[in-house]
């Protein structure tokens, strides 16, 4: 199954763990399946499925792969994508026009998902995508970009990691919610309809038993 390689705390390739891997792995195990993750730059995740390299993928990044044999499961996680600016800049970001003239860096595939917010910046060369989201944190703090578009948890994870492991001191930031996230955007896809059905049953079991929330808590409540 294809996963993104740089999206902690959802995926930690070095240990085959993380919120998303644990949820999907345990949901599949409920009916006897074993997850074998493969890691790719985020933009290549749907491509790996399309090209037959994997039997499942964590996301289609906004590409409907039904015609390529995808059977969509229920959403395993919900990402919380926000626009992030330095507090000291006092930038107001409430509508797409507020991004005019600002340089933006986002995760791979964001322009496809949020064209109404990003296409104007893309057209004038002020929009960039970066697979390594640690570099987004550094770029914002060093003034290389005005705005980061990232999942809030991923941004905060890298911010804390840099502070723990380097001399980096994070500047205060502002999180600007800009869309109402649609859980359907985060559905995993499977080549087998039966495995998809087994996954859905396992996911419902995780939620009903409290294990789903426990997985989230184990990663988000660590000191």
Q: How far is CA 33 from CA 47, 67, 115, 148, in A?
A: 23, 25, 37, 37
- Determine which helix (DSSP H) or strand (DSSP E) holds 56, and give its type and residue range: strand 56-57
Q: Are 126 and 193 in the same domain? A: no
97: domain range? 81-177
Q: Are 148 and 96 in the same domain? A: yes
Task: For residues 69-73, give the mean pLDDT.
Answer: 98
Short-list 175, 136, 153, CA closest to 19 = 153
Q: Are 73 and 94 in the same domain? A: no
**End-to-end CA gap in the chain:** 30
pLDDT at 126 over 60: yes
Q: Are 72 and 85 in the same domain? A: no
Q: Are 157 and 89 in the same domain? A: yes
Tokens of 119: 């296409």
Q: What is the pLDDT of residue 223?
A: 40
Task: For residues 44-71, give the mean pLDDT.
Answer: 96
pLDDT tier, 17 (very low <50, low <70, confident <90, very high otherwise): very high
The total number of structural domains that make up the chain: 2
Q: Are 121 and 186 in the same domain? A: no
Task: For residues 149-171, give the mean pLDDT.
Answer: 94
Q: Are 36 and 89 in the same domain? A: no
- Please tell me the distance from the alpha carbon of residue 203 to that of residue 28, in angstroms, as a whole number: 8
Q: Are 119 and 106 in the same domain? A: yes
Q: Are 147 and 199 in the same domain? A: no
Q: Confirm if 125 and 69 have CB atoms less than 8 A apart.
A: no
Q: Are 61 and 97 in the same domain? A: no
Q: What is the pLDDT of residue 90?
A: 98
Q: Are 42 and 111 in the same domain? A: no
| Helix residue ranges, H only, 41-192 | 45-50, 110-113, 115-123, 134-141, 152-165
Task: For residues 192-205, give the mean pLDDT.
Answer: 99
pLDDT tier, 222 (very low <50, low <70, confident <90, very high otherwise): low
Report the residue count for the chain.
Answer: 223
- Please tell me the distance from the alpha carbon of residue 139 to that of residue 78, in angstroms, as a whole number: 25
Q: Are 73 and 98 in the same domain? A: no
Domain CATH number, residue 206: 3.40.190.10
pLDDT at 95 over 60: yes
Q: What is the pLDDT of residue 59?
A: 95
Q: What is the pLDDT of residue 181?
A: 87
């Amino acid at each position: 199954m294809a996963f993104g390689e740089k999206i902690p705390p959802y995926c930690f390739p070095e240990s085959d763990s993380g919120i998303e891997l644990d949820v999907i792995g345990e949901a599949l195990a409920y009916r006897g399946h074993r997850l074998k993750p493969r890691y790719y730059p985020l933009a290549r995740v749907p491509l790996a499925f399309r090209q037959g390299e994997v039997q499942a993928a964590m996301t289609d990044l906004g590409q409907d792969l039904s015609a390529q044999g995808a059977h969509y499961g229920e959403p395993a996680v919900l990402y919380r994508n926000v626009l992030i600016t330095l507090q000291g800049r006092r930038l107001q970001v409430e509508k797409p026009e507020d991004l005019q003239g600002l340089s933006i860096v986002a995760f791979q595939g964001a322009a496809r998902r949020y064209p109404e917010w990003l296409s104007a910046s893309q057209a004038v060369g002020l929009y960039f995508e970066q697979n390594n989201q640690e570099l987004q944190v550094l770029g914002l703090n060093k003034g290389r970009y005005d705005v980061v578009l990232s999942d809030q948890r991923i941004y905060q994870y890298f911010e804390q990691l840099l502070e723990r492991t380097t001399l980096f001191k994070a500047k205060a930031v502002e999180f600007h919610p800009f869309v109402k996230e649609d859980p359907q955007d985060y559905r995993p896809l499977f080549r087998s309809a039966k495995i998809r059905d087994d996954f859905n049953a396992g996911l419902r079991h995780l939620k009903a038993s409290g294990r789903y929330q426990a997985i989230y808590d184990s990663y988000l409540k660590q000191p």
